Each structure stands twice: as structure tokens, then as C-alpha cells.
Amino acid sequence: MDIVIVGAGEVGSHLADILSREAHRVSVIDSDPDKVARLTEAHDVRVLHGDGTRADLLTMAGVPKADLFIAVTNNDRVNMLTCLVAKNLGAAKVILRLKDMSRVTGYLYFYKRSVGFDVVLSTDDLAAEEIIGTVREQHALEVENFADGRVQLRRLRIETESELTSETIDALRLPAGLLIAAVARKERFFVPDGNEQLAVDDQIYLIGRGADLDQFELLSGAQKLGRRSVVIMGGGGVGCAIAQKLDGLPNVSIRLLEKDPARAKEIAPTLSSSVMVLVGDSTDLDLLMEEHIGEANIFIATTADDERNMVACQLARSLGVSRTVAMVNKGSYRQIYDLLGVDLAISPRILCANRILRFVRSSSVNSIAVLADGRGEVLELEARLRDGKEKKVKNLGLPRGAVIGALVRDDEVIIPSAESNVKDGDQVILFTLPENMGDVEDIFRASGVFQGS
């Protein structure tokens, strides 16, 4: 595969290293001569020095014939412009990395069409989702978010005999807003029909709305969670994203500590009244004791200062906090966090690089999630039906092993049944087995995620 990467920072360098070792043809562009020199010495990749928004340099790097283009500089505006130029030059698949997703919030599909990217990844959102997954302590083994978080895919294990294992799927009283997309049973991986019966130790993949998935988790044997107290250190992008997303969970109290009074005053109105924003330094032992931080269940350090994150986690643990989580900004510090006893150390940049690697290894330009070691994929397609008329799901001619999990129509998210209509222009989130990829894309006339007719 021919791959062009703009940005030789931690994400770009990590990707270049792994992709070059997997025998891909990799070119990297960066405007920093020091980064270019380091990458040239360390990895067997083609490295170009210059401005990644220039069409002539992108052409020299091979973008017009590239199978994949990845924009991962530290500047969101540069990344967006670079993607626009690369798509118009002919790059087959374009991945955009953003730090601040507020740029596209509410206009995601507009920007996809206008800028031409196929997948957008936010380092802040990836870190927040990873941390939230540990806070939730739910039954889910894996969670993927689609349509700005309004649709989720969760992987669950059925651990005990229950209502779910007593009848066929058609006979189960399941929440309306979800679909069972696939089942992993020992060595078998399949899309079940209504006559299939679930069994203990099955791992099931469900697509639906969060509240309905929570209800399903309880049916599958998950325990209701008691009240938990969470303390977040840092009111930056990651800290605020965590606070906002945790605020939607039941029985969770949230306190956010921000050192800068001006920043605390700025973010307080953006959070609900149930999130307590406090001004103070989380490395101040007197403050931690005064606020009874030791009584919290989870302490999360999210500042850009790794040293402060480490110290704060150590202090919180010494005061009695059950679990500490820290964001790692310098890759070399990850082992230090482990040595200091931090329960979970998360690097947003490495998370982003690893997510991109999953897309690289997928079998479709439309893939937005790769599941079960490549045995299933979630696609996002724009419906361009041949006659331009709406069709019922059951009349689309989807192959066995392909299931539509959700339709996004304007601001509406629909979890469809067989009788639901798919309209021209709908965004379709679909689970499929890899062998069906060609047939599925042909049904929607999609050789790329947002191509028109």
C-alpha cells in the first residue's frame, strides 16, 4: 500500500515505523528539519522537508496515487487544509487527526463532504473515551462510538444463564433501540438470524443507543453500579470532555480541579451544574485534604504536564483514592507511570496512531472500525440508491452477514428494522463480514465514503 503521512511528530513517527516494517511504501512530510533528520536516520521511509499544504510537494510525495493519506500535524487547520488538497489530488482514502473536535461538532458530515476526509480522529476524544471506559466499570469489553457518540457498538460476554439464553433472539424482549450485529462463539464468528439462541460465554456485538445498550447489559448479568466519586485534574480539552461524558452516567459525582482561575471561570458555564469546578492545584496536599479527595473512587490527571500528573496521582493514592488514571504526553514516560503505581497511563497520541493502524489493516476504504481481529468491520456509507428512491431495509438485497445498525438523517439517528426506509443521502452505519464488502458497497454505489453519483 502507498501511504503518505503529513506530520512527523509522535503519531506520524510511530505510524511510519510500524507501517514501514509491514512492507508498506511510506512517505512522510514535515516542515521541521530536526524531525525530518531524526525520522530519516531512524526509519526506512521516504522523508520530505516542506509545507504539507502545498500541492507540488504532495504530488512529489505521491499523493495522486496514494492508497491512504494521513494528516497528523499538531495544527488542526493545517491538517484540514492538507486533507482538502490531498483528496482533490486523488488520494483514495484520507484520515484527518484533530485535537479540537468542536471545529466540526454539529457539522461533521458537512465537513466530510467539503474537506474530503473519510475518517476523523480526535486525540482528546480518544483519550477521554479510553478513560471513561475504565470509570464506567460496566460489562462491556469494547466500545466504539459513531455519529458523534449518538450510536455505539459494544462487545459483551454473556457470563451466566439468563433470560437472554432461554429463547431464540426473535422471542427475546430486547430494548427497541439496538440490534445484535454479530456473535463470537469459540472459533465461530457469525451474524445471527432470529432463530439463533444465545449461549453462556458468547461474546455479542450490539449496535444502538447508549441508554438501550445499558439496559441490555443489565439483562446480560451486569451488576448495577453504586455511587462513585470522580475527581478530574485539569480543565483542558481532555478534562472537560471526560467531565461532560461522565455527567451523563447515573450515580457519578464529578469534581474538576483547575489551577488557572480564568480557565475555571471559562469552562464552568460549559458544564452542567452537577459538575463542581474548583480552583486549585492538585499537587497541593492541603487542598486535597481540605476537599476530602482521598474519599474519591477515581482520580484522573489530564494536564499537559506529565510531572504534575505523576505527583498528583501519587498524592491522591496516598490519601486513599482507590484508582488513579493519568494522561501521558511524553511517550518515554509510560514506563515511569507503571513504576510509580499509576493504575492506568494513557497516551492520546499512541491511541490515535493505533486507531489509524486498524484502519490501514481493514479491507475497505469505508471502514471506520475493525472488530474481532478483522473478522468483522463497521462501515459508514452514504446511500446513493440507483433509482434515487427510498427502499425498505429488507428490499436492499443485503447479503447474509451484513446488518444496518443505524441511519443518520439530518440530525436524526434511526435504529432501523426490516421495514424501515433508507433514503438517498442517508448516512448508513453498517456491520458486515469482510467477504461481503464488495456487494455492500455496490448496493450503495459507494467506491468512497462521500462520493456522489
Residues 184 and 291 reside in one and the same domain = no
Mean pLDDT confidence for 253-265: 95
Residue 133 zone, left/alpha/beta (φ > 0; ψ -120 to 50; rest): alpha
Q: Does the pLDDT of residue 30 top 90, yes or no?
A: yes
Residues 10 and 118 reside in one and the same domain = yes
Is residue 348 in some structural domain?
A: no
Nearest to 394 by CA among 428, 426, 417, 418: 418
Q: Which domain holds residue 19?
A: 2-122
Residues 110 and 142 reside in one and the same domain = no
Question: How far, in Å, CA of 237 to CA of 103, rounded?
Answer: 13
Is residue 75 in some structural domain?
A: yes
Mean pLDDT confidence for 83-95: 95
Residue 328 zone, left/alpha/beta (φ > 0; ψ -120 to 50; rest): beta
Query: Strand ranges (DSSP E) for 331-400?
Result: 344-346, 367-371, 376-382, 391-392
Is residue 350 in some structural domain?
A: no
Question: How far, in Å, CA of 444 to CA of 436, rounded?
Answer: 13
Dump pLDDT digits (tens) for 385-429: 777 778 999 999 999 999 999 998 887 889 898 899 999 888 899
- Mention every residue, 6+ apart, whose C-beta is less than 8 A from residue 155: 140, 141, 142, 143, 203, 204, 205, 371
pLDDT band at residue 453 under the 50/70/90 scheme: very low
Mean pLDDT confidence for 177-194: 89
Mean pLDDT confidence for 334-346: 73
Is residue 339 in some structural domain?
A: no
Mean pLDDT is lowest, of 116-130, 229-243, 321-335, for 321-335
Residues 112 and 48 reside in one and the same domain = yes
Residues 116 and 158 reside in one and the same domain = no
Residues 321 and 210 reside in one and the same domain = no
Q: Which of 186, 201, 219 is the last residue of a domain?
A: 219
For a pLDDT cut of 70, what percent of the chain falls above it? 91
Res 319: pLDDT: 93
Is residue 449 in some structural domain?
A: no
Mean pLDDT is lowest, of 18-32, 90-104, 184-198, 382-396, for 382-396
The answer to whether 230 touches 276, Cβ cutoff 8 Å, is no
The Cα-based distances of 86 to 63, 70, 178 in angstroms read 6, 9, 37
The Cα-based distances of 402 to 190, 209, 397, 437, 445 in angstroms read 10, 19, 10, 9, 16
pLDDT band at residue 267 under the 50/70/90 scheme: very high
Residues 245 and 301 reside in one and the same domain = yes
Q: What is the CATH number of the domain that holds 404?
A: 3.30.70.1450
The answer to whether 29 touches 48, Cβ cutoff 8 Å, is yes
Residues 264 and 376 reside in one and the same domain = no
The answer to whether 431 touches 182, Cβ cutoff 8 Å, is yes
Q: Which of 169, 198, 219 is the last residue of a domain?
A: 219
Dump pLDDT digits (tens) for 100-156: 888 888 888 899 989 999 889 988 888 888 888 767 655 666 777 777 678 888 888
Dump pLDDT digits (tens) for 155-185: 888 888 888 899 999 998 888 888 899 999 9
Strand duo 119-122 + 94-98: pairing: parallel
Question: How far, in Å, CA of 416 to CA of 413, rounded?
Answer: 9
Q: What is the CATH number of the domain that holds 82?
A: 3.40.50.720
Question: Average pLDDT over the chain, rounded to whole?
Answer: 85
Dump pLDDT digits (tens) for 268-301: 999 988 899 999 998 899 999 999 999 998 999 9
Q: Does the pLDDT of residue 315 top 80, yes or no?
A: yes
Is residue 332 in some structural domain?
A: no
Is residue 345 in some structural domain?
A: no
Q: Which of 219, 241, 267 is the last residue of a domain?
A: 219
pLDDT band at residue 70 under the 50/70/90 scheme: very high
Q: In what order do the strands lie in the sheet with 376-382?
A: 367-371, 376-382, 427-432, 402-409, 412-414
Res 452: pLDDT: 32
Q: Does the pLDDT of residue 10 top 50, yes or no?
A: yes
For a pLDDT cut of 90, what percent of the chain falls above it? 41
Is residue 256 in some structural domain?
A: yes
Residues 29 and 110 reside in one and the same domain = yes
Highest mean pLDDT among 13-22, 167-176, 380-389: 167-176
Joined together, the cell numbers standing for residue 11 give 503519531
The answer to whether 111 touches 148, Cβ cutoff 8 Å, is no
Domain count, the chain: 4
- Residue 217 host element (H or E): helix 210-219
Res 337: pLDDT: 67
Q: Does the pLDDT of residue 447 top 50, yes or no?
A: no
Burial class of residue 186 (count of CB atoms within 10 Å of its CB; 0-12, 13-18, 19+):
exposed
Residues 74 and 134 reside in one and the same domain = no
Question: pTM for this one?
Answer: 0.66
Residues 139 and 161 reside in one and the same domain = yes
pLDDT band at residue 449 under the 50/70/90 scheme: very low
359 or 153, higher pLDDT: 153
Question: How far, in Å, CA of 329 to CA of 343, rounded?
Answer: 16
Residues 167 and 266 reside in one and the same domain = no
